[in-house]
Structures are given as C-alpha cells and as structure tokens.
Chains A and B, each alone.
Chain A
Amino acid sequence: MNIVSLMGAVELGLIFGLIALAVFLSFRVLDFPDLTIDGSFPLGAAVCATLIISGSSPLLATVIAFIAGGCAGLVTAFLHLRFKIMNLLASILTMIALYSINLRIMGRPNLALITEDTILTPFLGLDVKMYLLKPLVAGVIVLIVALIVARFLNSDYGLSMRATGANQKMARAQGIDTNRTTYVGMALSNALVGLAGALFAQMNGFADITIGTGTIVIGLAALIAGEALFSTRGMLLAVLACILGSVVYRLAIAFALKADVIGLQSSDLNLVTAVLVVIALVLPGAKNPLKNLIKRGK
C-alpha cells in the first residue's frame, strides 16, 4: 500500500471518528439506539455542498450542516419522547424521510465540489502535499471537537445526560429533566454526524445521496474497535478511543482490501463490516453498544 492510500484511510478514519463519537453519545451515553445517522450523514454533505455551490463560505456551510444534523436528531427524539414511538423505529422513520429531503436539498442525486472553494482552500498556499493536508485538517478539527465533547460529558450537565442513559428513574429523582437531556444529546450526536458529512463532502469533492448507507454500522464497528483496543476509563479516554478506533478500523479495512491473498474488493466493505460487528456482538463478554437491542429482541 502506498502513502497516498494510507493517508486516505487515516483521513476517512478521522472523519468517521466523529460518527463513532456520535454513536457513543446515542448508544452508550443515552442508551438510545439511533439509526438517524444514516440520513444525517448525507444531510450534512448535501447542505454543505449546496450552500458552497450557491456561493456561501465553506466555514458557514459547515456550521449550517452541523446545525442541520442536530435538527434531524431533534426530530427523532421528538417522535420518541412526544409520541412514544419506539426509539429504533423513530430513528428509522427520520432516516427514510431524510432520503427525500436530501434529494430536495441537492435537487439531484449528486453534486460535484471539485472546482469550488472548500474548507481546505485557505491551506492550499502552504507547502503541504494534498494527501497530507487532508488528514491534517481533518485531524485538527476532529481533535478539537472530541476535546469539547469530553469536557462537556465531564460537566454537571453532561453528567446529568449520562445519568439519563444509565438510570432514568434515578435521574428524575435527582431533578434531571430526562426529556430535555435526551433532546440535547440526540441533537449533539446528529450534529456531529452532520459535521462529518460536511467534511466528507469537502475532502472528497462531492456529495451523493447514497453515501449514508451503512454509516451506522461503520460507526458501531469503530466504537467497538476503540473500546476493545484502548482503555475507556474516564470520558476523555472513552472519547479519544472512538476516534482512534475509527482510524485503526479504516486502516485494517484498507489493508484487507489491498491484500490480494484475501481477494476482497472494495464493494465487499459493507459485508466485511457487518460480519465484524456480528462477531463483536456474539463474542462472550465483549462490551458492545447493541447489547440492549439483543435483550429487547428476546
């Protein structure tokens, strides 16, 4: 494998680190199995790409993609909390609706950003090769976001959100408005996904309606990898483990696809991911965010 594709894997891993972080927030912190992510990832990309093409600044477009993702999370939380629709189903409904919304936003199935200004443009003057610049910019953004999220989870408000997922009844008895913490948590989680979508579109030069498929499973795989490989004692380490897990996972996939002996094609990615997640789920004693889903299914 050459350096270009290696750095490409790192860059993707960093961007999907945000997704792993979002999955950590919904599945782990809030105990809310959320599939909205499959819709809010292309939503972030669509909003960002459409805004850039219509002339707004890449930074503003990225911020608005972040907010748009947050709104998607609010819709799912609203369906669940207000109408008592089962959380998983509520998120699937939002995800399906977002497919149409994303097509409306873009006006067609894909948009090219190759010729447009992106968040990378200001750094092009620097004497850094493109394949290094992308993971560097992505890394700095993702690291800053991760540190903010970790600090947030260690705050009084963040702690009340963690209590909401861990023991709702106890949380309410301690004066926590569990509905509000769920809204905030779901908004934050999907806002991170919207941000990831915006970064993905700008780094890869396009937004496409299909990029969301399987996002949630990749996020889960990254989360599981992070928790298996790194200590997750304390919020800062847990958050960094999500990012590192995602990068490690992407590198492993890249190597697996490149190794001719195994004979995998890039189109096998989703199958490989699904199989990996299943293995992680059925391994005895393995910590995994889907554990509760299995219990509920019984």
Chain B
Amino acid sequence: MIDVQDLRITFGKGTAIENKALQGVNLTVADGEFVTVIGSNGAGKSTLMNCLTGELIADSGSIVIGDQEVSRWNAAKRSSLVSRVFQDPLAGTCENLTIEENLALAHSRGINRGFGRAINRHKRELFRERLSRLRLGLESRLEDKMGLLSGGQRQAVSLIMATLQPTKTLLLDEHTAALDPRMQAFVLELTHELVEEEGMTTLMITHSMGQALQFGSRTVMLHEGQVVLDVSGEERSKMTIHDLVDMFASVRGEQLDSDSLLLG
C-alpha cells in the first residue's frame, strides 16, 4: 500500500524562481493496485516520484509505504520497500559494470552487503533464468558491459532488476519514453506481465493517454502539484483517449480562466 497525505515541497523557497512543485498531494494506492499517472510538464509527477523514493525529502506531509511511515527515510533505506525504473535508460543501470554485476547489485537490494563474492554460480543460474524470459539473448551475454546494450534492452534489464527482490512496490517514471515504438510495446508488455505475476503495487507515470487507460486499473492526473482527476472502475473502462484529452484540456482551461479573472 502507498498512502500519501498532504505532501508539499517547494524548490528555491524565498527566491525569484520559487516553485511550489507539490501543493498538498493526497493519494492512496491499495495493495496490488496498478495506477497510471498523467499530467503536463511541471505538474509534479516526477517530483512525487522522487519524494516516494526518497531522492527528495518533502517539506511536509506523510508518506506510508506498506505499513511504514517513511517520509524521513533516505533513498537507500527506502529501497527495501520500493523499486524503481527510471525514464533515462542510462540512469537505472551502471554502464561500466557488466550485466551480471548490475543484476547482482539489484539482487542484494535490502540485504546487508558483505564480503562474499558478488557473483557466484548460484546467482548466475538465477540471472540466466530471469534474463531468458526476455528472449533477447542476454542470458548468454552476462559478462558484457551494460553500456553495450540498446536503450530498450537496458530498460528490460532494469525491469528484471526491479523484480529480483520481492519488493511490494514498483515505481515507473516514464520508463518507455526514450524508446522506439517497437521496444516501447515490448517493455510495456513485459511490465504488465511482471506486475501481474508479482502482484506489485505499481505507480506508472506516462505521457501517453493511450497507455494511461490501457494499463492498470486506475488513472490519476496531477496538475500544479495536486491530484485533479482520479478515475477507476466503470467510469474509467468507458473512457476513451478522447475523453481523457478533453478532461486534460479542461483542467488546464479552467486554470487559464481563473488566471484571466485575476488579471482582468
């Protein structure tokens, strides 16, 4: 479960470029729920994500993941509860380390790292088995540097890394945005499969209205640091991309109107 209450964060407080990125976000995601998150640039999607993973510490508000209040935990500590796939394929993996070393890093997530060998036969077997489901032939390239893989291949490996340890929560930050359409479809399908299998509570940021409705069971829209739309169930299943785009536009339109009122 993820429970976010009245989360607020302001960047550059008291300066000319003050930016109230989150202005009281409330969001509760039940166990095993798959929520897609949309919103325009600057709506606070990535900031919310960074607050959940601990890359940013919010100014106020509470974050509960599982049954732990984590709002003061740093990123490393939260990693035992949350796994994450970044937008940038370069960000989620180490290009100078080999594929198996990257997987070994993820394999020890949430476990005390000791002085035993990072790679052993047992782990190699496991990595091979996990990679083979990608059908990308990576299981025979364990000792290749991660930097040799394409962006799509790296995202696919990132997903495998994210599910290597039984964390209950998966955060996806536009993880297919940097990929070509074919690879995008492949990574999304893989995401769907893995989430189903592991029953993970998932939050997926996307820029694509189509993806937002196609995947998961609930869609949330952020605007100016607040949740402005939250649809699920029957209402959502009847929705078309067109409806969503209209709602998207109307949320932004209202904002324009209130601005013009103020100015006028």
Interchain nearest-CB distance for B190 vs A (Å):
19
Q: A163-B97, A163-B105, A166-B95 are in contact. Are A174 and B79 (CB under 8 A)?
A: yes
A215 to B213, CA, bound (A): 61
Query: Could you give, for residues 80-110 of chain B, a 1 whenever the CB lies within 8 Å of some chain A CB and a 0 otherwise?
Result: 1001101000011111110001001110111
How far does the Cβ of B55 sit from chain A's closest Cβ, in whole Å? 7
Q: Which B residue sits closest to A169, measured CB to CB?
A: B91
* Chain A 135-171 residues near chain B, CB threshold 8 A: 152, 154-160, 162-163, 166-167, 169-171
Q: Are B97 and A157 in contact (CB under 8 A)?
A: no
Contact A157 B115 (CB under 8 A): yes
Q: Of A1-9, A92-100, A175-183, A191-199, which stretch is located at the interface?
A: A175-183
Q: Are A173 and B75 touching (Cβ within 8 A)?
A: yes
Alpha-carbon separation in the docked complex, A173 to B170 (Å): 12
B-side interface mostly: loop
The verdict on B119 contacting chain A, using a C-beta distance below 8 Å, is yes
A154 and B97 within 8 A (CB): no
The contact size tier of chain B is: 20 to 34
- Judging by beta carbons under 8 Å apart, are B55 and A172 in contact? yes
On whether A169 and B55 interact (CB within 8 A), knowing A163-B105, A175-B80, A178-B76, the answer reads: yes
Known: A174-B105, A177-B76, A178-B76. A156 touches B95 (CB 8 A): no
In the complex, whether B14 has a CB less than 8 A from a CB of chain A is no
Nearest chain-A residue to B104 (Cβ)? A159
Cα of A159 to Cα of B93 in the assembled complex, Å: 13
Docked CA distance A235–B55 (Å): 30
Q: Are B97 and A162 in contact (CB under 8 A)?
A: yes
| C-alpha gap A162/B104 in the complex (Å) | 12
Are A176 and B104 in touch, CB under 8 angstroms? no
Looking at the assembled complex, report how far the CB atom of B83 sits from the nearest CB atom of chain A, in whole angstroms.
Answer: 8
Compute how far the CA of A152 lies from the CA of B55 in the bound complex, rounded to whole angstroms. 28
Complex contacts, A171 vs chain B, CB 8 Å: 94, 105
Known: A152-B115, A154-B117, A157-B114. A170 touches B101 (CB 8 A): no
Q: Please give the distance in Å from A205's CB to the nearest CB on chain B.
A: 37
Q: Is the CB of A159 within 8 A of B101?
A: yes
Binding site for A on B (CB under 8 A): 53-55, 74-77, 79-80, 83-84, 86, 91-97, 101, 104-106, 108-110, 113-119, 161
Top 9 nearest A-B pairs by Cβ distance?
Answer: A175-B79, A166-B94, A172-B75, A159-B118, A156-B113, A155-B115, A175-B109, A177-B76, A167-B94
